[in-house]
Chain A
Amino acid sequence: MNKYKKITLDGLIYQNPTFMLVLGTCPTLGLISSAFSSLGMGLTVLVILTLSNILISLLRKIIPNEVRIPCYIVIIATLVTFARMFLEKFVPDLYESLGGFLALIVVNCIILGRAEAFANKHTVLESTVDGLANGLGFTAAITVMGIICEFFGNGSLFGFKIMEFKMSMLATPAGAFLVYGICIAVFVYIIDAIERAKRVKVNKLSRENLLKEAA
Chain B
Amino acid sequence: MPRKRIGPESRIGSAKKELAEKLAAELKSNREFGQPVIYEHAFRTGKERVTVIWDAWHDVPLQERSATILSAYELAEGPESRDRIVLASGLTVPEAHAAGMLPYRIITALRKNDPVTYDQARQAMLEEGGSQLLNPRTVQLRFATEEEAMASRQRLIQRFPRTDDVWMIEREITAQDLAEARDWAQAEEG
To the question of whether A and B form a pair in one complex, the answer is no
Residues in A lying within 8 Å of B, measured CB to CB? none
